[in-house]
Structure formats: C-alpha cells, structure tokens
Chains A and B, each alone.
Chain A
C-alpha cells in the first residue's frame, strides 16, 4: 500500500512538473521585458547594435544617440553579462532579425577578467532546444546542463531569477503587450538612494588590483566578433569612461588596454578609447567606477554620438 502511494506521488509530481515546464515555457516567451524573448518575437530593424554588460545598458541611450547620428540603434546589452552571454544574445538577434550595419561592443580590462560579470544561465533556460545555445550553456554551466534535462529543473534550478519573469510573462500575456518597458533596450540608471562617495568607489578595487586575462572570455569574444563579421556587420570595440581616481589603483590596466588593442587589431576591429575623457574626473558622473549616473550617461551618449558621426558615418 505504501509502495503504491509512493509511486503515485512520484507520478503525480512528474506530471505536475511537465505541466509547469510547459506553462513556464509559454509564459516566459510572453515576457516582453526579457530581451531574449523580445528579440525572438517582434520584428526589429536597426542600423547599430550596442552590446555588452550593465555599463552600456545604463550608459548609452539609443534615442539620444539616434538624434545625433541620424541612424537607428538598439541597446542589446544586459546587466552582469560576459561575452558568452553576449554571444547568445547576438546569435538570437541575428537568427530572427535583419543584421545591423554596426555592432558597438563594450570592452574594458574587467571584461577579460573572470571576477567581473558572468554567464547568466537562467536567461537561456527557455532556449535550450537550440543546439548552439545548448552547447554554450553546457560549456559554461555543465552542472546545470546535466540537470536541465529533467522536467522543469531548467526553470527550478535558478528559480530566484525565473519566477518573477514568469509572473510578469503571465501579466504581459493577458495585457497582450507587444513592447518592453524599455523599448530601445536602454535602462536609465536608477537614482542612487545611498550615494557612493569617492572612498567607496575606490574601495571597490582593492589596492593595486591586478587583472587576469581569461582564455574563456577571449574565446567567446573572438567567436562573437567572427560571427558578426560573417554576417557582414562592422564591429567596433569601445572602452567606456573610468572614474579617474580609481585608475591609479589598477596596477596593470595599461597592459590590458594594450592587450585589447592587439586583439582588436588581429580581428580587424577598431578600438575606441573613452577611458580618460574629461567627464571621467567628475564624481557626479559616476555611481561606481565604470557605471555612470543619469547625468554621466547623457554626457557619454552625446560624446559617443558625435564620435560615431565623425568616425563611422563619414567613412
């Protein structure tokens, strides 16, 4: 009797998990705020894609940029993302949308160091049926990949990052929403309730920090660039402004910039350096070493727009 009940429990649970899996799959695709879902569903056509982690996400406003350059741009960047994460988003974009003319990719010494940003597996839970996505997820998060084959575990594993998106997806489905909250992909930096002062920003970098070049990051950077170039996209690397007083804390920043320059050269990619432009000295423009405040974001978008107009569109 007990054995019968026990098996009944397992069967009921598996059945329920399969149903949940289907429900999550459906409603997560309805969430227009998830870039992977949005770029897979709606028809988009942009000339310029801005890509990278949170710095470009919060720093470059395509609407402002378009008003300066006269071309259309979309901010594909995602917070906390590394190049593998960026590659999948670009792959997904190009799978469903027309290829843009240009790709502006954020790169700093932090991008090449494993301690900064990461591969956010949960963003791809819904896209594991695609073999390209699956193979990258398997390489970046093998443990997750192993368990993701069980019903619903691909969503349960990172439930803290998935549940809210599922609820939002349900809401968007019933609202028949077609556009995300941030239509051009740009998310204005939040107003900092607890203002980081100079000392706090400097503390984010332990004294004399040494960056470490990660081969996996390099592998996906090259993969991303080559894939974009194969699709006829002109790729440009850019280094964003760095809050000036923190530079002296970073022992081998200069060496890394040189390394990035060499990598760019070998890939036939331009590298635009904005690390130490005048806005870098003003504390009001930053809320962390590399992230700008709304004021800083406006200044940088303006600078970048003018740079694009002069150096890219006049070619």
Chain B
C-alpha cells in the first residue's frame, strides 16, 4: 500500500486528536511546530535543519529591516535566498553542506531540502511585506510554523504571510464538524485523483516519453496530452490533501487550481493553474515591471510576461527544456495580448458555445505542446517527440498495433483493459468534475459520493507505492 498515504493519515489522526485535546493557543502552536518538524525530519534531517536555519536567518534580518527600513539589507536578503535556492536545486549544495557538517553520510542521490522552492518564495514575500510594514511582525515560533506547516511543506500552496500568519495567531478555535467534514471530503477527493487517476496515467505517459515504443504522431500526441492530465491530477491531488488536512485543524489554505483544463485562453489558464505561484510572480514581478514601464503599456506587459515566465521556467528547473516551456507560454501570451481586439471581434461573430469549446480545445493543445518540453528529460527527447508528432501519416494505420499497444505498454488483453479503464476514468472525471466538485466539497456530509469514491479507490486505485509526486522535484 502506498504507505506514504497510510502513514500520513495515521500521523494526521494522531496529531488532530492531540491538537483538539488542548484548547490552549500556546500549546497548540508548539504542538503544530513540533509535529511539522517531525514530519520534515522524517523526510530528511537535512531538510529540517535547512528550513530552521533559513527561517531563523530571515526572521532576524526581517526584524532589522523593519527597524531600519534598509533597502540594501532587503536586497541582500532576497539575493541570498535566490542564490541559495539556485545552489541547493541546481548546484547540489545540499550534498556539500551535508558533507561538511556532522551529519556527514555517503549518498549517491542529490540532497534537496523538502519544500525549499516553496518556502523561499514565502521568505521573500515576508521580507518585502515587512519592509513595507504591511503585516504585523510575528513571533519566531509562528514564523517557523508558517514555513514548516506539514500539510503544505511538500506541495504548497505558496501562502502569503498576510493570509497565513493571522490564522496562526488564532489557534484556539474548538473542533468544528463542518471543518472536519470539508477536510475529510477534500482529502478523499485528493486520494481519488492521485490513486485512481494520476497513478494510472503516469505509466502510460512513461511509455511515450521514455521512447520505449515507436508510435505514430497521434499516439505520441495523446501521450503528451495524458501527461498534462496526469500532472493536473497529481499536483491538484496533493493540494486537495494539503487543504483538507489544514481545514481539519481549522486553517484555511489558498486554492491552487480552479478547473484549469476548462479554460478558454492561456491567460485564463494561468489564472487557474498553480494559482499561488502565479499570484506571487504577479505581485512581486509583473506589477512592478508594468508600473515601471507604464508609459509604454503594451511593451510593459510583454516585458513583464517574459520576465515572469522566464523566471518561472528557472524556478521549475535548470535546463533548456524548461526555458523552452517558458518560451512557449511567453509566445502564447504575447499573441493573446496583441490579438485581443481581433479575437473579441471573431468571438462576437461565432456561436458562443462553439467559440467556447473551440477555445478550450486550442488552449488545452497549446498547454500540452508546452508540457512536451516540461516533461522531456532532454532537448534530444523533446526533438524526437516533436519529429514523431509531425511525421506522416499522423493517424495510426492499425488501431491495436500503432495506437493501443504503445500506450498500453504492450498489446495483451490485460494491458488493454487497464488502458481503457484509465482513459475512461480520466475522461469521465474531467467531464463530471465541474458538476460534482461544488456539490461535494461543502461542509455537508455527502454519504453516497464518499461511499462511491472509497469503493472506486479500493477497486481501481494503485496501492503498491504508486508513482512519486511529480512536483516534488521542483
């Protein structure tokens, strides 16, 4: 069984019990911090030490900034965070630090601090907000909890200090059955997405991106589209579990997804996909750039888009493929910015439903094309996949040999059966998601949906460890 999940659930149940046993705000705050530290240390002790060190450093430097209003100190702290993030993620400083420290141990793997990409952005937010005196200065304990909060440490969402820190200051609320129901249902929703949808799709995607099998253009393209679906199910599932867990404890986390695969433009897509990252980039990069070059509005917007997505590419990974992924989105958004009027005119002339569905189709395919670079391990792989997509004949000649078998990882009845189950599940979910979600994810206990989801997890879920969280690498 994916014991990651079972262990996590046990951990959550025990922690929730202890948390509500006491009504003291102070004890709860300590308990939250302690359990978060245990959770991180269980991943790696280095992650815990690194988080504590970076948080303590930021806390005291922010205190100094608040007192002195020193801009150079602010820039120094921000630069240091960026350099350390790049060093940890791309130059393997984690290994160097471990080798230098008493923690010294032999390892062949690259040591990356859990959640470093997420909390580095939170550190920067905190420094900026403190500089502008837009938030009350927290206690060190609360500041540590802000970063270490266990439901969100590994997958986000990236929380703004002004929304998260005040919640830590009011931890004395009593157990609420509404919060529990919402949290439970949100976690179940996440488990379903991860175990029944994402983990079933990822091996299919691996077949295509691993280039294990030769295939026609359409088959490769479907594999690329399935990666987008798998990434969405996987990432949003972790977010659901994080939001649900936090809600049980009475803490509201920010939403990170809002049906992004139903959007009608790339701009709209980015308002619904990894919302907290885009909001962060918008607030701290996009708006300042647009403001700085406000005399040339179109140029300012185009420059801001390029900077935001260029940095987003680097944030995700160090390599030409991530830059190409970012470049795709920059081009898409420039095109949308420059053709806004023309597209509005066309939209008015066409039937609304047709234009809407056509836009969803185009947006989805453009996003998938960019994801080709996002998922490809190297430029050569991306190149081969593109060549395959544009090689004629595009459509497979034999459905079983050229289409089903490459996706199923072979042509046996069992493999084909599993492929059909996976595809059917995903498309049904995408079709029904928008209808079920608002009804199900409320504070009311939905017995029948809970029962069906649990049954589907037991019948079709991948229990044997499953696939790793895709976004953990970022």
Question: Do A and B share a complex?
Answer: yes
Residues of A within 8 A of B (CB): 2-3, 5-6, 8-9, 12-13, 16-17, 20, 143-144, 147, 152-153, 156-161, 163-165, 167-168, 190, 193-194
A161 touches B414 (CB 8 A): yes
User: Inside 8 A of A143's CB, which chain B residues have their CB?
Assistant: 1, 3
How far is B411's CA from A190's CA once the two chains are assembled, in angstroms? 9
A163 touches B421 (CB 8 A): yes
A16 touches B455 (CB 8 A): yes
Q: Is residue B440 within 8 Å, beta carbon to beta carbon, of the partner chain?
A: no
B447 touches A8 (CB 8 A): yes
How far is B454's CA from A153's CA once the two chains are assembled, in angstroms? 13
B445 touches A156 (CB 8 A): no
B463 touches A2 (CB 8 A): no
Q: Is residue B462 within 8 Å, beta carbon to beta carbon, of the partner chain?
A: yes
- Sample (17) of A-B pairs whose CB atoms are under 8 Å apart: A2-B180, A5-B445, A6-B184, A12-B451, A13-B451, A13-B455, A16-B451, A17-B458, A143-B3, A157-B463, A159-B461, A160-B200, A163-B418, A163-B460, A164-B414, A168-B413, A190-B412
Q: Is residue B75 within 8 Å, beta carbon to beta carbon, of the partner chain?
A: no
Q: Is residue B401 within 8 Å, beta carbon to beta carbon, of the partner chain?
A: yes
For residue A169, give the distance in angstroms from its CB to the closest CB of chain B: 13
Interface size class for chain B? 20 to 34
A159 touches B213 (CB 8 A): no
Nearest neighbor of B177 in chain A, beta-carbon distance = A2
How far is B418's CA from A161's CA once the two chains are assembled, in angstroms? 9
Most buried by B among A20, A160, A161, A163: A160
Supposing A159-B460, A193-B411 touch, asked if A9 and B447 sit within 8 A by C-beta, the answer is yes
Nearest neighbor of B445 in chain A, beta-carbon distance = A5
Supposing A156-B459, A159-B459, A193-B405 touch, asked if A2 and B414 sit within 8 A by C-beta, the answer is no
Q: Is residue B450 within 8 Å, beta carbon to beta carbon, of the partner chain?
A: yes
A156 touches B3 (CB 8 A): no
Q: A147's contact among B1, B200, B418, by CB below 8 Å, is which? A: B1
B454 touches A13 (CB 8 A): yes
For residue B219, give the distance in angstroms from its CB to the closest CB of chain A: 12
How far is B188's CA from A9's CA once the two chains are assembled, in angstroms? 13
Nearest neighbor of B401 in chain A, beta-carbon distance = A193
How far is B455's CA from A156's CA once the two chains are assembled, in angstroms? 10
Q: In B178-198, which residues have CB < 8 Å from any A CB?
A: 180-181, 184
Q: Is residue B214 within 8 Å, beta carbon to beta carbon, of the partner chain?
A: yes
Nearest neighbor of A160 in chain B, beta-carbon distance = B418
A194 touches B214 (CB 8 A): yes
User: Inside 8 A of B417's CB, which chain A residues have their CB?
Assistant: 163-164, 167
Q: Which A-B residue pairs are the 9 nearest by beta carbons?
A: A164-B414, A193-B401, A164-B417, A2-B177, A157-B463, A156-B458, A147-B1, A5-B445, A13-B454
Nearest neighbor of B181 in chain A, beta-carbon distance = A2
A194 touches B463 (CB 8 A): no
B463 touches A159 (CB 8 A): yes
Most buried by B among A13, A153, A194: A194
User: Inside 8 A of A13's CB, which chain B residues have their CB?
Assistant: 451, 454-455
Most buried by B among A6, A20, A161, A193: A193
User: Inside 8 A of A190's CB, which chain B residues have their CB?
Assistant: 411-412
How far is B417's CA from A168's CA once the two chains are assembled, in angstroms? 11
For residue A61, give the distance in angstroms from its CB to the closest CB of chain B: 19
User: Inside 8 A of A161's CB, which chain B residues have their CB?
Assistant: 414
Nearest neighbor of B214 in chain A, beta-carbon distance = A194
Supply 9 further A-B pairs (C-beta < 8 A) apart from A8-B447, A157-B463, A159-B462: A5-B447, A12-B451, A13-B454, A147-B1, A153-B1, A156-B459, A157-B1, A164-B418, A193-B405
User: Inside 8 A of B418's CB, which chain A residues have their CB?
Assistant: 160, 163-164
For residue B404, give the distance in angstroms from its CB to the closest CB of chain A: 11
User: Inside 8 A of B3's CB, which chain A residues have their CB?
Assistant: 143
Q: In B418-474, which residues have CB < 8 Å from any A CB?
A: 418, 421, 445, 447, 450-451, 454-455, 458-464
Nearest neighbor of B200 in chain A, beta-carbon distance = A160
For residue B4, give the distance in angstroms from its CB to the closest CB of chain A: 12
For residue B197, give the distance in angstroms from its CB to the closest CB of chain A: 14
Q: In B185-238, which residues have CB < 8 Å from any A CB?
A: 200, 213-214
Q: In B376-414, which residues have CB < 8 Å from any A CB?
A: 398, 401-402, 405, 411-414
A160 touches B462 (CB 8 A): yes
Nearest neighbor of B463 in chain A, beta-carbon distance = A157
Most buried by A among B177, B411, B451, B458: B458
Most buried by A among B398, B412, B455: B455
For residue B21, give the distance in angstroms from its CB to the closest CB of chain A: 17
Nearest neighbor of B413 in chain A, beta-carbon distance = A164
How far is B450's CA from A2's CA once the two chains are assembled, in angstroms? 13
Nearest neighbor of B184 in chain A, beta-carbon distance = A6
How far is B406's CA from A224's CA once the two chains are assembled, in angstroms? 37
B463 touches A156 (CB 8 A): yes
User: Inside 8 A of B401's CB, which chain A residues have their CB?
Assistant: 193
For residue B201, give the distance in angstroms from its CB to the closest CB of chain A: 12
How far is B464's CA from A158's CA once the two chains are assembled, in angstroms? 7
How far is B462's CA from A160's CA once the two chains are assembled, in angstroms? 7
How far is B411's CA from A193's CA once the two chains are assembled, in angstroms? 10
How far is B414's CA from A88's CA once the two chains are assembled, in angstroms? 23
For residue A171, give the distance in angstroms from its CB to the closest CB of chain B: 11
How far is B398's CA from A193's CA once the two chains are assembled, in angstroms? 10
How far is B180's CA from A3's CA once the two chains are assembled, in angstroms? 10
User: Inside 8 A of A163's CB, which chain B residues have their CB?
Assistant: 417-418, 421, 459-460
User: Inside 8 A of B414's CB, which chain A residues have their CB?
Assistant: 161, 164-165
For residue A282, give the distance in angstroms from its CB to the closest CB of chain B: 24
For residue A253, give the distance in angstroms from its CB to the closest CB of chain B: 25
